[in-house]
Amino acid sequence: TEPTVLIAQIQNQSARLLKQNISLNLVGIANSKQALLNRNGITDSNWRAALAEAQHSPAIETLVEFSHDAQLLNPVVVDCTSSAEISRQYVAYLQKGFHVVTANKKANTDDMDYYRALRHAAKAQHKKFLYETNVGAGLPIIDNLQGLLKAGDKLERFFGILSGSLSYIFGEVHNGLTLSQATLKARELGYTEPNPAEDLNGLDVARKALVIAREAGLELELENIQVEAAVPDDLAQMTQADEFISALEKYDAEFQKIVTAAEAEGKVLRYIAEIDNQNIQVGIQAVAQDHPLYTVQAGENAMVIHSSFYNPVPIVIRGYGAGADVTAAGLFGDLIKTMSVETSL
């Protein structure tokens, strides 16, 4: 999983980074029940056992007190959960002097008031709030977009494939599997949520599209997005995995008609997020061979940015948009960016 890989990356790379004047210390690991805290650094790769026996609470008060007592120079909180409750604590962490690095999309897709409050807190405290992995895992999309917009560029149109699981499933469907077979295969490979309805309902893609749209200045809420699930709504809303999978099997024949119709026109189905003017649309599109997203499959993400500067030819960034290695590397990159030249010594 991401946290495991990120912890290993920090532990393995710290000696090499020190040669580059970057001192990165892992001083705490928390899950929902407890927190393992060690001011001198958690260097043991077998930290799971220690965490299981840790006595500290993972509550924000405990972590703030620990940071204060340990006089941490430049503390960073890294959130690898998808918890809305934890994302609601970022403002408090920023106000207490932590940088915040997160893979969790909940904060950036909460209401605009909280979105603004976060940026206000980061500014007021001179702390960084970084979330490159919210979209496309380690692919350099947020930082690149922020750089362009700071230089005066404007987003004109965006479209992309933002879900590794849906990228995989739609690829396999055109390799001859039924929708339920492709979904079960993706699930077996660990590419989906435990209940794949949470991938096929499109909400995760909608959140990613909202993160990008807000980056570009659109003041939209999640409910403003037109989300067409990859399956009929009654399936998409099922909360029990077993129930969903048996419903999906019954839907296979109907879905196959859509696949066949697309293929008869030389097209493939892709689950695409699109931002155009003030609109965000998320849903299935049939695209022809000359479309930039035609070849995107096998878990790949792809993001196409048309802007004032990149016009008429867009920037295209593609590669794995999920997976423990690349997501952890994205979080690691954000961690490095929390260090100013001065405090990285």
Residues from 325 through 344 that contact a second copy (CB under 8 A):
325-326, 328-330, 332-333, 336, 340-343
Q: Rounded to an integer, what distance in angstroms lies between the CA atom of residue 334 and that of residue 345?
A: 17
Answer for which of 100, 282, 320, 322 binds a second copy (CB under 8 A) is: 320
Do 196 and 187 form a contact (C-beta atoms < 8 A)? yes
Which C-beta is closer to a second copy: that of 56 or that of 185? 185
| Helix or strand run (H / E) with residue 323 | none
**What's the rounded Cα separation, in Å, for the pair 111 and 118?**
11
Which span (90-98, 147-155, 193-201, 235-243) binds a second copy, by CB under 8 A?
147-155
Per CB under 8 A, does 151 bind a second copy? Answer: yes
Kindly report the three-state secondary structure assignment for every residue of 191-211.
Answer: CCCCCCHHHHCCHHHHHHHHH
Task: Tell me the C-alpha distance between 131 and 147, whole Å.
Answer: 14
Tell me, residue by residue from 270 to 299, as one string, x for binding to a second copy by CB under 8 A and - for no binding.
----------------------------xx
Nearer to a second copy, 147 or 266 (CB): 147
List CB contacts of 301: < 8 A, sequence separation 6 or more: 136, 137, 139, 160, 161, 162, 163, 164, 167, 318, 319, 320, 321, 322
Minimum Å distance from CB 339 to a second copy? Answer: 8
> For residue 86, what are its two tokens?
């934890």
Which phi and psi angles does 219 have, rounded to 5°?
-95, 70
* Among the residue ranges 8-16, 102-110, 216-224, 275-283, the one whose residues contact a second copy (CB under 8 A): 8-16
**Residue 127 appears among annotated catalytic residues:** no
What's 22-57 look like in SS3? CCCCCCEEECCCCEEECCCCCCCCCHHHHHHCCCEC
97 binds a second copy (CB under 8 A): no
For a second copy, the binding residue among 68, 116, 123, 250 (CB under 8 A) is 123
Give the integer Cα–Cα distance in Å for 4 and 327: 11
Residue closer to a second copy by CB (options 20, 260) is 20
Interface pick for a second copy out of 103, 148, 225, 272 (rule CB under 8 A): 148
User: Exactly one of 105, 127, 128, 208 is catalytic; which is it?
Assistant: 208
* Among 1, 12, 43, 175, contact with a second copy (rule: CB under 8 A): 12
Shortest distance, CB of residue 272 to a second copy, whole angstroms? 18
Query: With respect to a second copy, which residue has the nearer C-beta, 115 or 320?
Result: 320
∠ CA 16-19-21, nearest 5°, is 115
β-strand 35-37 against 76-79: which pairing, if any?
Answer: unpaired
Q: CA-CA-CA-CA torsion for 149, 151, 156, 159, nearest 10 degrees? A: -60
317 contacts a second copy (rule: CB under 8 A): yes
Q: Which stretch binds a second copy (CB under 8 A): 50-58, 59-67, 245-253, 321-329?
A: 321-329
Nearer to a second copy, 103 or 227 (CB): 103
Q: Is residue 165 a contact point for a second copy (CB under 8 A)?
A: no
Only segment of 65-73, 183-191, 239-247, 311-319 that touches a second copy (CB under 8 A): 311-319
Instruction: Select 283 or 333, whichever has its Cβ closest to a second copy.
Output: 333
Query: Which distant-in-sequence residues (6+ apart) come within 8 Å of 16 by Cβ?
Result: none
Q: How far apart are CA 193 and CA 205, in angstroms?
A: 13
CA distance 192 to 81: 16
Rounded Cα gap, residues 58 and 314, in angstroms: 44
Site residues for a second copy per CB under 8 A = 9, 12-13, 17, 20-22, 123, 126-128, 138-140, 143-144, 147-148, 150-153, 298-300, 305, 308-310, 313-320, 325-326, 328-330, 332-333, 336, 340-343, 345
Write out the catalytic residue numbers: 208
